[in-house]
């Protein structure tokens, strides 16, 4: 009997993986809490320094301060970085070093539960960090209005996408040296996804390439929601991120089955 490649959403068994991770991080609470300081440092550095040097930026015909322009992009970047750490670095350790999943699969749980449980844990952490980031945006005056609250579910979608893709990528890593390849992809995404300046400033060919970046789609989605700019393109961005997430989750489940099957 063939097992489905895509994990079954709503499976209660995957919550056991979530419970296991929660128990581990409960003993490492300082590492967990440190993530709440990241948005504060990011936004303070932009608001105190660059915001006064750059001036205003035009987004969808609306002039906003540079801090308001950058903050949603930094939220998207924060969601990406958190998802990558959880789904690639931490998962690689449990998969190849501590062999945690070998013990997990000795229970009634299967590889689908492992994949979905790890993604669920990454989403839970992202929910807390995104909420703290948005709170900092509001308190520091770096939001475009109360529409910024819609950035919270959009940030979770970003985390979901990168968690699924990262989990799939993790299964192809052979050793710690391969993490250089992760940085080789992550750094250009951070620098060239219109996080710090509008995509209209790119040459046309490069701009078209950047528009295919999942981080750009996330940053543009969050920026549009923050400024209350809605339209059909927003639905396209959500569909793009969701499709990429489901594809990554499917690949991750298949790869876990290949690696962990006896």
| Structure confidence by residue, pLDDT tens digits, 186-219 | 888 888 888 888 888 888 888 888 889 999 999 9
CA atoms 15, 16, 19, 24: torsion sign = negative
**CA nearest to 70, candidates 215, 230, 223, 190:** 223
Model confidence at 10: pLDDT above 80: no
Using CA atoms, how far apart are residues 117 and 120, in angstroms rounded to an integer? 5
Please give the residue that has the higher pLDDT: either 39 or 213: 213
Pick the range with the lowest mean pLDDT from 34-38, 126-130, 204-208.
34-38
What pLDDT sits at residue 34?
64
Residue 229 per-residue DSSP state = -
How distant is the alpha carbon of residue 189 from its chain centre?
12
pLDDT in tens, 77-114: 888 888 888 888 888 888 888 788 888 878 877 777 88
Domain ranges (residues) in the chain: 12-19+50-260
pTM: 0.84
Cβ atoms of 170 and 259 closer than 8 Å: no
Averaged pLDDT score across all residues of the chain: 82
What pLDDT sits at residue 36?
66
Instruction: Write down the residue that tokens 């449980």 correspond to.
Output: 117
């Amino acid at each position: 009997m063939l097992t489905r490649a895509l994990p079954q959403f709503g499976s209660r068994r995957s919550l056991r993986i979530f419970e296991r991770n929660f128990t581990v991080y409960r003993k490492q609470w300082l590492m967990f809490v440190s993530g709440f300081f990241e948005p504060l440092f990011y936004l303070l550095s932009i608001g105190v320094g660059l915001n006064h040097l750059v001036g205003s930026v035009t987004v969808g015909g609306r002039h906003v301060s540079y801090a308001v322009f950058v903050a949603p992009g930094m939220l998207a970047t924060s969601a990406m970085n958190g998802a990558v750490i959880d789904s690639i670095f931490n998962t690689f350790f449990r998969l190849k070093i501590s062999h945690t999943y070998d013990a997990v699969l000795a229970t009634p749980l299967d590889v689908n539960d492992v994949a979905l449980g790890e993604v669920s844990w990454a989403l839970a952490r992202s929910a807390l960090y995104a909420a703290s980031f948005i709170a900092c945006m509001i308190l520091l005056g770096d939001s475009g209005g109360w529409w910024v609250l819609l950035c919270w579910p959009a940030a979770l979608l970003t985390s979901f996408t990168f968690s699924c893709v990262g989990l799939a990528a993790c299964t192809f890593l052979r050793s710690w040296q391969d993490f250089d390849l992760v940085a080789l992809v992550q750094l250009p995404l951070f620098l060239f996804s219109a996080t710090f300046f509008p995509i209209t400033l790119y040459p046309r060919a490069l701009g078209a390439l950047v528009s295919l970046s999942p981080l750009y789609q996330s940053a543009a989605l969050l920026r549009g929601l923050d400024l209350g700019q809605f339209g059909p393109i927003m639905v396209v961005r959500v569909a793009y991120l969701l499709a990429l997430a489901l594809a990554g989750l499917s690949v991750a489940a298949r790869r876990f089955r290949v690696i962990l099957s006896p």
